[in-house]
Structure 1
Amino acid sequence: MNALISGQAGIAIFVETTGAFVVDIDSPDQERSLPKTSIPYVFNGASDVKLLKSVKRKKALETLELEWRKDRALQLMLILIDDEDDIETKREAAECLTELLSDKQVFEFLSNRMFSAPFPDDTNLEIAYKCGAQAEPVIRLLDELSKNQIEIDLYRQEWDNLSPDLFDDDEDVKSELFHRIVEEGIFRDFVLTAKDAKKFSLVEFDFHKKFGREPNAGKILSAWTASLKPVDSEQDFSQMIEEEPERQKPPKEKRGRKVKPKKADEALADVIKTKDFIKSAMQKGEIVKARRFTQQLVTEGEKTSTQEQIAKSLCDLAQYAKEIKNHSFQLELAQWANRIAPSDVRTHIQLGDAFFCLKRNDEALKAYDTAIRDFPPNVVSHSGRAEVLKEMGKLEEALKAYDAAICDLLPDVVSHNGRAEVLKEMGKLEEALKAYDTTIRDFPPDIVSHSGRAEVLKEMGRLEEALKAYDTAIRDFQPDVVSHTGRASILKEMGRLEEALRAYDTAIRDFPLNVYSHNGRAEVFKEMGKLEEALKAYDTAISDFPPNVVSHSGRAEVLKEMGKLEEALIAYDTTIRDLPPDAYSYTGRAGVLKEMGMHEEALKFYDETIIQFPTNKVAPNARSALLVLMGRYHEAEVSLPVKEPQTKSEWIAHHIRGMILLKTGKVQEASEHFDFGLNSSPFPSDKKYYRSALAVAKLQANEFAEAAECLGDDQTPINNILRMHIYGEGRLSEFEGIIRTAHEYLKQYCPSSLFNLYLEVTGRYLVDPDLASLSNDELIKQECDYVIWRIAA
């Protein structure tokens, strides 16, 4: 009997003389009768229907199973690369693909199909790679496809542009032939041999063997591959098909006027124009179009330029892709440049930078090592390698690498700035400041050096000097987004929030394509207690820019502040799963676990964060604060630095040490400790925590007037809680008016984590003392815990 099968529909229809019956892939042992007239409707538009003649049922069902697995693999691959599907679905797709692709026939089918058209514009390869990280055959296929997108696009364009005359003006004939060419692997083989003349000729020979008897087969092949054929392939192919009975003669060269070569300045103008088109397409997210323009740039360049000049253009475009945060296309362009000119050190450096931007540090290090090993000494290679080592937390090695670049090579401003940055990361702030001063003195004016110096001053708490340094940088140089956002962050640290907001607005206006200004603006809203506006600002950053871990983590942090802890945890989990690893998201997730009361889980996650991000300064302090909350005071104490505090993180550690004194009953020592911090820390944002802690210590000692004085005019929510408690318990002068004023502030903004304390002091001091549910000591303990809780939140 005959059978019609479709993997897409998942059914087989067996046709006999007396009638027909259907078998479903899910129930191969069951069948249902079917009128022959209904057969066309059963497949419901499936495009893969195959006719098997004189076939046995078992063989037909085996074929159906294979075709179904092929179609399933294709659908799962499309899910994996699509930007819309959720991450969990993608992970499941990658897992299923691993099993399906273990079948060689399925792998060949999927490879052939995916090679028949370029990735669509909504492809997200970064997430696809991450979700398929454990699926070796999936990653292998993605790598092969990624490397050949240009050639795939070119071959598909040439096929689509073939004249209808070649197919007797019948689009169905063209479509059917294309399907067969793809199914036989011819399309894929042409793509893979695009640069190898001999192998290309073998594929031509294979085409003739399989399709040579089709009408116009020779003309179709010639028209399709004419502009894509590698040099010298024609001669090799002609030798292979000399037995072919009717071999076409190559067309005679047309006579006429020779094309005049373009002048150098005309060629340069064309290159600049094409690069502008490519950048415009990149900016719009039209990556397929960008690839086409890039291929045009390369093709034209081959006529007028050297391989090194073409590679330089590709490296320039990769740098632009980096600027707009499209790091996957940056890597694609860098790999392309490296294939064209592997003897050009610049292509290895660009490749290393692209891997670095994608957090693929081992591959970045390998690319820089190749540049250093195989080429004359180059300061950029050494500096790039040092930057990767710094990112990996290998600060001593990074410093040595920068020292080697500066001592052994012709140093440049980049290597000096990089060295200074490593010293800052190591906490050697005085040395870092001197290094930046030396760079500014010895090298031409450079805004990066001035901005880096400003950041060191900020880290040292010398905020007025840091602000002046940024003002100088913006005044004396062509402003960049780093100097503007850096200045805004100083204003935020100084508590000048309205000015900070205006500074971020200016940065957004002047640098609309940079996401960090939007993130900074959202952070200011959060600091002001305007959580809904902060959430909207982060949502705008997420919708208008490529995926950015700071935007997503910042949004999750706002959800935490709003008391939406489950949503915040999901948001952090999604960020960690979908985006490159980042300490911000890891410490944020641990903070949510801490707020949910899941202290052991939070502690474990802080430990994991410290291991994965050894240079991060937030996680160690947050971990120590959590240990204090858990009553594990000795563990917390030995985890803290003992040197005199200088940096912001060291002052936070100093504060935590004071909280240990307070929690262990050493109230007088704690008061002296906090008083020192309040008067000595240069960071205004830290002073408010010292005020709160000192007020709690004085309150615990029943020194109500001194406690009230500690709070000053600070209107943060915890200080207004303390203000109501101090004035109400101590019955200080004008206590009723002050309590009501503090209450009004809390009505405007009180974070969810303080809401129970807010209800407690409101009931106790404004409604009826009998409404108190806590003793005074219990109330003080909860206030103390909150201060600890917020120190390194």
Structure 2
Amino acid sequence: MNKQSWRNNNREGRMGNGYTVAVLSLAVCFLTINTNAQQKVSTGKPMTAFDSTEVRQLFFSALREKTVENLKHASELFERVIQTDPRNDASLYELANLKKIQNAYADAQPLLERAVAIKPDNEWYWAALADSYEKSNNISKLENVFDQLIRINPNKPEYYYDKANAYTILKRYDDALKAYDQVEQITGPTDDLLGSRQKIYLKQGKIDKAAADIEKAITDNPGQIRYYLLLAEIYNSNGLSDKALKVLQQAEKVDNSNGMAHLALADIYRDKKNTDLSFKELTLAFAAPEVAIDQKIRIITGYYPKFPDPNAKGSALELSRILTLAHPADSKAFAIYGDMLLQNDKLKEAKAAYKKSLELDDKIYAVHEQLVRVELSQNDLDGALKDGENALSLFPNQAWINYLVGVAYAQKKDFGKALGYVKNATSLEIQDKELLSLSFSLLGDCYHDLKNNKSSDEAYDKALAVNPDNAYTLNNYAYYLSLRNEALEKAAQMSARSNQLQPNTASFEDTYAWILFMQKKYADAKIWMEKALSHDKENSAVKYEHYGDILFNLGNTDDAVQNWKKAKGYGEQSPVLERKINEKKYIQ
């Protein structure tokens, strides 16, 4: 049972332990102390003037300790007051509040029960006792408490609501409805009352009764769409979708621009498997600015599980486009539009959407990262560097953007700068294995191009320690070892693994063929090079030169020369290739 469910949300501000109650309790305390001077303690012995003075001093000392939050000492002083004057209701109340602050509600209850017994007309005492019963889940005792609060303040609707909520928890539904009838006598008909009664009727299974109340509200207020929506929800949630549809169609005639009505219709059509009508209603709902943008974004992201289905991607894209028209000043609209454009391979348009999102709000890191990723995909290295470094000025400790800027510098052959950014990425993120693997692999590439083989090998080893199955790292590391004619057996194992992980990749097959060639396994090298050529979409000059080298070492000089000439025709201009062709022999 939810301990909070019986109360109205505003009770804490109304009768809680806040500043207002503390101030009001002081007035209660003054009155209590003055009158108690004439009362008798439980032993029957009359209080003396000395007793009264001591009580007053102890009480104000306790209040001072409470004010400076010395709760333990304050509690001790209030207890001493109660020992001297057991009928000091103000001290009972204050001590109970201190118990409640420490979540000792069971200890607070008897103190408050004594306080209300002494001062049965004190509204604050009863309210505190109600709170204590509620917090300790002693719901059955709440009826009497609210009866007393209503007796003291009969025109306060909140007490009737709270009493009704307690009845609801106790499943005394008819009593709850009677309490709501009493509220209506004070406030007249309200939406809160209507909604509260609906919950009771539905718990009782009285759908017709719930519907009748709302139909009356519609008759009295035919232009208020919220009543149509409420009635449709009751019907739809209870399996009466046809009735719900008719109500919403009626609402649509009353106000065709109401986005929430279109949204509800979209749900019903979707449940009825009418995809076209459902999407049509969604587009109308998305065009309505009053429908919250976050709700619309949740609908768009609901399409994600259906990707890469082109219909799902197309629908999400259209809805996100409409979103930007309905919310042209909201950066989130353009951010999600950029995401959907990216999903539909519209990189140029996605880049523009992300830039617009950042113009509206540049404090959303994810948009910066997406923009730089798009620019790298377009090979817009200058744009990636500009926007990436701008992102780092706002988010210097984001590892991924450091890595992406490092990638841009590496692709521009500025390996020194690339190293700095990629090292930052590895120092900022130690949990993201994907990022660490990519970063160490890129460090290996950069060190290789800087002729620092030792650091390059160390970086590749770190990359593979994080992710042993990073196919690109395995391929590059293996290839660079083969170029140096070092650790060829290790290189062969890594290259073979990369081809297992990502088969039919021409560059990986070329690497493996070349390593086999370096191991003088020419027949095997020929098989793998022919695979590489069959999968090559770019007519790589290097691959044809390698194939010629393999053929020559297998004794097929004429075919070797023909492939060397192909390599030259595809753009290879090295002096060594010229010598191979002219001298008709393999030259290292």
Q: Give your verdict on TM over 0.5.
A: no
Identify the TM-score tier after normalising by the shorter chain.
0.3 to 0.5
Tell me the TM-score normalized by structure 2: 0.39
Q: Which has the higher contact order (CA 8 A, sep 6+)?
A: 1
Larger radius of gyration: 2
Bigger fraction of residues in helix? 2
Tell me the TM-score normalized by structure 1: 0.30
